[in-house]
Amino acid sequence: MHFARTIGVAGAILTLSLGTQAMAEVSCGMNTGQAATGAPILVGGIYGNAAPGDWSSSTDSAAAYFACVNANGGIHGRPVDYRVENDQWNPEAAAQAAARLVNDTPTVAMVGNGSFIEMAVNANTYEAAGIMVMASACAISECFETPNIVSTNQGPLSSNLGAAQYAVEELGAQHVACIGLNIPNNGIWSCQAVQDFMRSRGGDATAVLINPGAPDVNSALLEAMASGADTILINQPAGIALAILSAAEEQDLRDQFNWIAPTPLYDQSVPAAVGAYWWGHIYVNAELAPLEVNGPDAQNWIAVLDQYGQPDDPRDSFGQAGYLSARFFTEAMLAMDPAQLDDRAAVGAAIRGISGYTSDLMCGPYYVGDADFHMPNHAGYMVKVVEGGFEIVRECYEYDSPYFEPHIALETQLGLR
Amino acid sequence: MRHLFHVTPSGWAGLATAAFGILVLPSLASSYWLSVFTSMGCFLLAIAGVAFMYARLGMVSLTQVGLMGVGGWIALRLNHAFDFPFEVNLALAATATMIFGWILALPALRMRGLYLALVTLMAAGGLEIIFATFQFPNGGAGFWGVQTGSGAAFRRPWIAQSPQAYLRYVIACALLGFLCIELHRRLQPGRAWALIRRSEAAAMAAGVNVTLYKTWAFGIAGLLGGAAGALLAGSLGLLDDGTFRASESVMIFALAVVGGAHSWQGALIAAVLYKVLPALLNIWGVDANLAFVIFGAGLLHAVITAPQGIAGQVLEGLGRLSPKRGAKDA
Amino acid sequence: MILARYGNWLLWALLMAGLIGFFGWGGRPQMVGLFIASGLAVGSLYALAGIGIVVLYRATGVLNFAGGAAGAAGAMTAWQLTAWGFWEPLGWLACLLVATAITLFYGRLIAPRLAWRETVVKAVATLGFALIILGAISFLWADDPRSISLPTDAIGVRLLGMRITATRLLLFAASIGIVLGIWLFLARTTIGLQMRALANDRDLAALMGIPILRVETIAWGIAGLLAGFTGLMFADLIRLEPSVITFMVIPGIAAAICGRLENLAVVLIGGLSMGVIENMLTMSPVLRGVRPIAPFVIAALVLLYYQRGQRLTFGGRD
Helices (H), chain B: 2-5, 9-23, 25-28, 31-57, 64-81, 86-108, 113-134, 163-186, 188-198, 200-205, 210-236, 246-259, 264-271, 277-283, 288-305, 309-321, 323-329
Q: Could you tell me if A210 lies within 8 Å of chain B, comparing CB atoms?
A: no
In chain A, the residue whose alpha carbon lies closest to the alpha carbon of B40 is A92
Distance CA B40, CA B34 (A): 10
For an interface test with C, the pick among A219, A316, A390 (most C C-beta atoms closer than 10 Å) comes out as: A219
Residues near B319 by beta carbon (within 8 Å), at least 6 away in sequence = B325, B326, B329, B330
- Predicted confidence (pLDDT) per residue in A69-90, tens digit: 999 999 999 999 999 999 888 8
Please indicate whether residue C314 or residue B281 has the higher confidence score (pLDDT): B281
For B110, the closest of C119, C120, C307 (CB atoms) is C307
**Residue C167 resides in a domain:** yes
| Residue A216: predicted pLDDT | 77
| Residue B177: predicted pLDDT | 93
Question: What does residue B253 show for φ and ψ, rounded to 5 degrees?
Answer: -65, -45
Every domain of chain B and the residues it spans: 14-138+161-246
pLDDT band at C120; cut points 50, 70, 90: confident
**Which range has the worst mean pLDDT, B231-245, B285-299, C88-102?**
B285-299
Distance CA C192, CA C214 (A): 12
- Predicted confidence (pLDDT) per residue in B245-282, tens digit: 888 898 899 889 888 888 888 899 999 988 888 888 88
Do the beta carbons of residue A226 and residue A197 sit within 8 Å? Answer: no
How many angstroms separate the CA of residue A282 from the nearest CA in chain C? Answer: 16
* Average model confidence (pLDDT) across chain B: 86
Contacting residues of C for A253, CB less than 8 Å apart: none
Distance CA A402, CA A404 (A): 5
**Which range has the worst mean pLDDT, A396-400, B92-96, B145-149, B271-275?**
B145-149
| Residue A410: predicted pLDDT | 92
| Residue C289: predicted pLDDT | 78
Do the beta carbons of residue A394 and residue A170 sit within 8 Å? Answer: yes
Residues near A61 by beta carbon (within 8 Å), at least 6 away in sequence = A112, A136, A301, A304, A305, A309, A313, A318, A319, A320, A321, A322, A323, A326
For A242, the closest of C141, C145, C279 (CB atoms) is C145
**Does pLDDT of B329 surpass 50?**
no
Distance CA A326, CA C140 (A): 29
**Does pLDDT of A298 surpass 50?**
yes
Element (H, E) at A244: helix A238-250
| Residue B318: predicted pLDDT | 79
For C163, the closest of A3, A251, A275 (CB atoms) is A251
How many angstroms separate the CA of residue A16 from the nearest CA in chain B? Answer: 27
Q: Could you tell me if B144 lies within 8 Å of chain C, comparing CB atoms?
A: no
Q: Could you tell me if A225 lies within 8 Å of chain C, comparing CB atoms?
A: yes
- Predicted confidence (pLDDT) per residue in C246-299, tens digit: 988 889 999 999 988 888 899 999 999 999 998 888 888 788 878 889 999 999
Q: Which DSSP letter does residue A411 get?
A: H
Flag if C290 and B204 touch (Cβ within 8 Å).
no
β-pair type (A389-398, A379-386): antiparallel
Average pLDDT over residues A103-127: 91
* Nearest alpha carbon to residue C67 among C231, C195, C303: C231
| Residue A396: predicted pLDDT | 92
Average pLDDT over residues C3-21: 82
pLDDT band at B132; cut points 50, 70, 90: confident
pLDDT band at B328; cut points 50, 70, 90: very low
Helices (H), C247-287: 249-258, 264-280
| Residue B322: predicted pLDDT | 63
Flag if C142 and A4 touch (Cβ within 8 Å).
yes
Q: Which DSSP letter does residue A309 get?
A: S
**Does pLDDT of A150 surpass 90?**
yes
B264-271 vs B9-23: helix crossing angle, rounded to 10: 40
How many angstroms separate the CA of residue B200 from the nearest CA in chain C? Answer: 7
Element (H, E) at C165: strand C162-165
β-pair partners for A109: A43, A132
C19-38 as b/e: b if 16+ CB within 10 A: bbeebbeebeeebbbbbbbb
Torsion angle of the four alpha carbons B198, B204, B208, B214, in this order, in degrees rounded to the nearest 10: 70
**Residue C106 resides in a domain:** yes
Flag if A222 and C234 touch (Cβ within 8 Å).
no
**Residue C105 resides in a domain:** yes
Chain-centre distance for alpha carbon C161 = 30
pLDDT band at A12; cut points 50, 70, 90: very low
Flag if C142 and A54 touch (Cβ within 8 Å).
yes
Q: How many residues does chain C have?
A: 318
* Nearest alpha carbon to residue C135 among A88, B288, A6: B288
In chain A, the residue whose alpha carbon lies closest to the alpha carbon of C84 is A4
**Does pLDDT of B323 surpass 80?**
no
Distance CA C113, CA C118 (A): 12
Distance CA B11, CA B49 (A): 18
Do the beta carbons of residue A36 and residue A73 sit within 8 Å? Answer: yes
- Predicted confidence (pLDDT) per residue in A179-190, tens digit: 998 888 888 899
Please count the residue pairs, one from chain A and one from chain C, whose beta carbons lie less than 8 angstroms apart: 122
Q: Could you tell me if B114 lies within 8 Å of chain C, comparing CB atoms?
A: yes
Do the beta carbons of residue B97 and residue B49 sit within 8 Å? Answer: no
ipTM: 0.87
Please indicate whether residue C162 or residue B41 has the higher confidence score (pLDDT): B41
Average pLDDT over residues B59-77: 93
**Does pLDDT of A22 surpass 60?**
no
Contacts 24+ apart (CB under 8 A), A224-229: A224/A177, A224/A179, A225/A253, A225/C31, A225/C34, A226/C27, A226/C28, A226/C31, A227/A175, A227/A177, A228/A175, A229/A175, A229/A176, A229/A177, A229/A205, A229/A257
| Residue C24: predicted pLDDT | 78
Distance CA C315, CA B97 (A): 29
Do the beta carbons of residue A384 and residue A284 sit within 8 Å? Answer: yes
Q: Could you tell me if A150 lies within 8 Å of chain B, comparing CB atoms?
A: no
Give the global pTM: 0.87
Chains that touch B (3 or more CB pairs under 8 A): A, C
Give me the percent of chain A exceeding a pLDDT of 70: 94
β-pair partners for C110: none
**Does pLDDT of C79 surpass 90?**
yes
Distance CA A140, CA A155 (A): 7
Distance CA A52, CA B221 (A): 31
Give me the percent of chain A exceeding a pLDDT of 90: 57
In chain B, the residue whose alpha carbon lies closest to the alpha carbon of C246 is B247
**Which range has the worst mean pLDDT, A147-161, B80-94, C283-297?**
C283-297
Please indicate whether residue B1 or residue C50 has the higher confidence score (pLDDT): C50
pLDDT band at A162; cut points 50, 70, 90: very high
Flag if B122 and C303 touch (Cβ within 8 Å).
yes
Flag if C139 and B293 touch (Cβ within 8 Å).
yes
Question: Domains in chain C: how many in total?
Answer: 1
Distance CA C251, CA C267 (A): 12
How many angstroms separate the CA of residue A105 from the nearest CA in chain B? Answer: 9
| Residue B325: predicted pLDDT | 46
Q: Could you tell me if C109 lies within 8 Å of chain B, comparing CB atoms?
A: no
**Does pLDDT of B327 surpass 50?**
no
Q: What domains can be seen in chain A, in order of their start residue? A: 3-154+292-377 (3.40.50.2300), 157-286+381-413 (3.40.50.2300)
pLDDT band at A24; cut points 50, 70, 90: low
Enclosing domain of residue C168: 55-248+259-264
Q: Could you tell me if B242 lies within 8 Å of chain C, comparing CB atoms?
A: no
Average pLDDT over residues A45-51: 85
Q: Which DSSP letter does residue B129 get?
A: H
How many angstroms separate the CA of residue B190 from the nearest CA in chain C? Answer: 20
| Residue C95: predicted pLDDT | 94
pLDDT band at B90; cut points 50, 70, 90: very high
Average pLDDT over residues B75-82: 90
Average pLDDT over residues C25-30: 76
Element (H, E) at C164: strand C162-165
Average pLDDT over residues A350-373: 92
Do the beta carbons of residue B197 and residue B1 sit within 8 Å? Answer: no
SS3 state of residue A168: helix
Do the beta carbons of residue A83 and residue A105 sit within 8 Å? Answer: yes
Q: Find residues 329-368 of chain A whose CB sits inside 8 Å of chain B.
A: none
Q: Which DSSP letter does residue A77 get?
A: T
**Which range has the worst mean pLDDT, A112-116, A166-170, B130-134?**
B130-134
| Residue C1: predicted pLDDT | 55
Distance CA C103, CA C230 (A): 14
In chain A, the residue whose alpha carbon lies closest to the alpha carbon of C42 is A216
* Average model confidence (pLDDT) across chain C: 86
**Does pLDDT of C49 surpass 70?**
yes
Average pLDDT over residues A238-242: 85
pLDDT band at B149; cut points 50, 70, 90: low
pLDDT band at B70; cut points 50, 70, 90: very high
Chains that touch C (3 or more CB pairs under 8 A): A, B
Q: Could you tell me if B295 lies within 8 Å of chain C, comparing CB atoms?
A: yes
Average pLDDT over residues A241-245: 89
